[in-house]
Amino acid sequence: MDLKALATAHPDHWAKATAIRALTLDAVAAANSGHSGMPMGMADVATVLFEKHLKFDPSQPNWPDRDRFILSAGHGSMLLYALLYLTGYEDMTLDEIKAFRQWGSRTAGHPEYGHAAGIETTTGPLGQGIANSVGFAMAEEIQRATYGKKVVDHYTYVIAGDGCLMEGVSQEAITLAGRHRLSKLIVLWDNNNITIDGPVTLADRTDQVMRFKSAGWAVLEIDGHDPEAIDAALTQAKKGNKPTMVACKTHIALGHAAQDTSKGHGALTDADQLLAAKEAYGWKTGPFEVPAEVKSAWEAIGARGAETRRAWEERFDTLPRGKRETFNRAYAREVPKKLSAVIKAFKKQTSEAAPKLATRASSEKVLEVINPVMPETVGGSADLTGSNNTKTADLGVFDVDSRNGRYVYWGVREHGMAAAMNGMALHGGIRPYGGTFMCFTDYARPSMRLAALMKIPTVFVMTHDSIGLGEDGPTHQPVEHLAISRATPNTHVFRPADTVETAEAWELALTSKDTPSVLSLTRQGLSTVRTEHKTKNLTAQGAYVLADAEGKRRAILLATGSEVEIAMAARDLLHAEGIGTRVVSMPCWELFEAQDDAYRKRVLPGGPVRVAVEAGIRFGWDRWLFGERGRREKSGFIGMHEFGASAPAAKLYEEFGITAEAVAQKVRDLLDGKWAPSPLV
């Protein structure tokens, strides 16, 4: 590669792009850790994008109508950090660049959402960024149709690498974007043919150009180091009616001794080679030094967006007051005042009618009162709409000719759905929820984890949540999935016992600003256990006394979801024998753990024996059985200890011993004769 020719042909561009490369080399060398090659190879593309196309304002980094820039190849984080510093983002200082990958810095090894303005999503797990981008682009389409082009009209740009395109989730994302003709989505592929192990051809022979074309994308192929070609491609991409992939042929670690090798992917820390690369660039300043004229040129690029943003604010102010208020409320993740009232009214009606419903059906009934008062909700399902009960009549379907539709048919794409929902939540102004079977949290898991890590309130509706789904058998019967979700930090796992608890769980999920929710819902019908109306949201306490002991309290039964009614039936058996028994419903462990010790002590006092019942594995239950004033020798568990089987639900519960009689017998065994039957027994 003739660097001198590049520098001579476009000296101003070369100086700005070289600032990115030099800062990358310095930061990685100082940290003795990181990935140098991608930022060095894609510096030209990023420079043209930020200088000539990206709509942004560092002084107001969260301006709603900004273009979104997503670095899907998150290992090349120094590309993003350098751009944010150079263009003048206040919280991305030179000191932060110097502290790359160090404790307490904003410059983590991979871009972390929330650490610094301008980081639109957490990337690093390859493929996540490009999958998130589909949700970003969908959110833009929905809001443009809702509020008008004057206030919502922006692009989503993605830099993706070979690794992003190898990960399976990228196929889900690419085909979704092509199907929905997301023309404001532009992916810039860093086509350098290098992975950590060696050339891409070591493990893959995919024709990526044909792959994207077959999925309905427009594709452009360019020299990724030619600023004129980059500019022309981006200009053409913005005129199309399809999503566009720009294949940017680049050299990884451009200008370094490791150029075009797998070594160029990683940390280029050799001091002599670093200096040689800078010399080849014509870069004569010391470490972390950017010439004043180059920094000023970059800052001018950043400052340019303020005028565009102010013009947008003027247009926004011409919207009707109601639309402005709804827009601002949704972006602030505030719920409408009506929500609490409609939930309370629904709970009262349900307590009085006491229906027997599967909680997946309960969820649909709750959504029927929520969706009309929350226009920002966007629902969907991974090809299980009729099973997940996630669609309500008022939503309309999001499609090419109905951009204001609020229901997405995601197809059989759990991972892509979950990642795109995260993108919607990150975009702002949207409250996404989507459904699949609980066992397929396995497929959605990477995105569910990142929702928790990013502190965004995506709602994952997981139905068919136990052996209670019956005949589909052990492949579809989740036994460990509750434990997996509960083990994830910053996640609220709701397993409601009836329609009332389901309504309360939805209220909590939608009022959360920084915590994703997992709703674990049944296929089988459940009796209403909350027959006495309470305006208070008891689920918000995580656990509460559903029914107390008659007479002296000898036992406490702890249960969630479909097993609460089993615990209630066991209580009746024990009371008939004079054994005073309390039933505690525990719809959300995480919220119960967050209560103060005094409340937890009132719910779980020391002394009585404790038995937990849940159609899942025991993992995690010991915290409540003997970690809160309980005793190991006075506690027991009724649930699953193996995988399920194919049979009707009732037969499975009987065969696996999850019955009221089994619960009552466990209590008797733990009391071990230390109880006396009542005289009437």
Catalytic residue among 414, 501, 504, 563: 414
Instruction: Order the strands of the 407-409 sheet from edge to edge.
Output: 407-409, 377-381, 431-437, 459-463, 517-520, 492-494
Give the H or E element holding residue 246: strand 244-249
CB 402 within 8 A of CB 390: no
- The number of residues in the chain equals 681
Task: Return the ∠ at Cα 55 (arms to 425 and 456), rounded to 5°.
Answer: 15
Give the H or E element holding residue 158: strand 156-161
**Backbone torsions φ then ψ of 190, nearest 5 degrees:** -80, 90
DSSP 279-320: HHHT--S-TT---HHHHHHHHHHHHTHHHHHHHHHHHHTTS-
Sequence-ordered strand ranges (E) for 515-579: 517-520, 544-547, 553-559
51 Cβ neighbours under 8 A, 6+ residues apart: 13, 16, 301
CB 74 within 8 A of CB 167: no
Give the torsion sign (CA, 450, 373, 359, 638): positive
Q: Which amino acid is residue 333, in one-letter code?
A: R
Q: Which amino acid is residue 124, in one-letter code?
A: G
Q: Is 414 a catalytic residue?
A: yes
DSSP 70: E
CB 50 within 8 A of CB 84: no
SS3 content of the chain, % helix, strand, coil (to 5): 45, 15, 40
Give the Å distances, CA to CA, from 546 to 169, 218, 621, 659: 43, 58, 19, 19
Q: Which amino acid is residue 417, in one-letter code?
A: M
Nearest 10 degrees: CA dihedral of 619, 625, 626, 628?
110
Q: What is the CA radius of gyration of the chain?
A: 28
**Backbone torsions φ then ψ of 397, nearest 5 degrees:** -105, 130
CB 562 within 8 A of CB 526: yes
Give the Å distances, CA to CA, from 375 to 66, 138, 431: 22, 15, 9
CB 544 within 8 A of CB 536: no
DSSP 614: E
Rounded distance between C-alpha atoms, residue 681 and residue 669, angstroms? 18
| Structure tokens given for 563 | 């097993």
CB 34 within 8 A of CB 100: yes
Sequence-ordered strand ranges (E) for 511-624: 517-520, 544-547, 553-559, 580-585, 609-614
**Backbone torsions φ then ψ of 220, nearest 5 degrees:** -120, 140
- Residues with a catalytic annotation lie at 414
